Amino acid sequence: MKFKEVLGIDFGGSGIKGAPVDTKRGKLLEKRLRIETPSPARPEDVTKVITEIVDYFKWDGVIGLAFPSVVQNGVIKTASNIDKSWIGINASELIKNKTQRPTFVVNDADAAGMAEMKFGAGKDRTGSVLLVTVGTGIGSVLFTRGKLVMNTELGHIYLKSGIDAEVFASDAARKKEDLDWKNWGKRFDEYLHEMHRLFWPELIIIGGGVSKRPENFMPYITVDAEIVMAKSKNDAGIIGAALVARSNRKISDWLQ
Q: What is the pLDDT of residue 20?
A: 98
C-alpha gyration radius of the chain? 17
Residue 102 Cα distances to 55, 96, 123, 156, 173, angstroms: 15, 5, 28, 32, 36
Question: For residues 165 and 173, what is the distance between their CA atoms, to the nearest angstrom?
Answer: 10
Q: Smallest Cα–Cα separation from 133: which of 177, 193, 68, 202? A: 68
Q: For residues 1 and 126, which has the higher predicted lDDT (pLDDT)?
A: 126
Asked if the model's pLDDT at residue 249 lies above 60, the reply is no
Name the average pLDDT for the chain.
92
Count CA within 13 A, CB hemisphere, residue 164: 11
Rounded to 10 degrees, what is the CA torsion of 143, 253, 73, 17?
Answer: 70
Rounded mean pLDDT, 129-154: 92
pTM: 0.85
CA 253 from chain centre, in angstroms, equals 18
CA angle (226 as vertex; 224, 232 as ends), nearest 5: 140
What is the torsion angle, in degrees rounded to the nearest 10, for the CA atoms of residue 193, residue 198, residue 200 and residue 206? -50
> Over the stretch 179-199, which tens digit does the pLDDT of each residue have?
999 999 999 999 999 999 999
CA quadruple 231, 14, 161, 77: dihedral sign: negative
pLDDT digits (tens, 9 = 90+) for 11-43: 988 899 999 999 999 999 999 999 999 999 999
Domains for the chain: give ranges and CATH numbers: 5-110+235-254 (3.30.420.40), 123-230 (3.30.420.40)
pLDDT value for 248: 62
What one-letter code names the amino acid at 5?
E
What band does 122 get if pLDDT is binned at 50, 70 and 90?
very high
> CA 152 → CA 42, 61, 124, 131, 196, distances in Å?
23, 30, 22, 11, 15
- When pLDDT is cut at 50, 70 and 90, the band that residue 247 belongs to is confident
**8 Å CB contact between 5 and 61:** yes
Tell me phi and psi for residue 142, to 5 degrees.
Answer: -125, 125
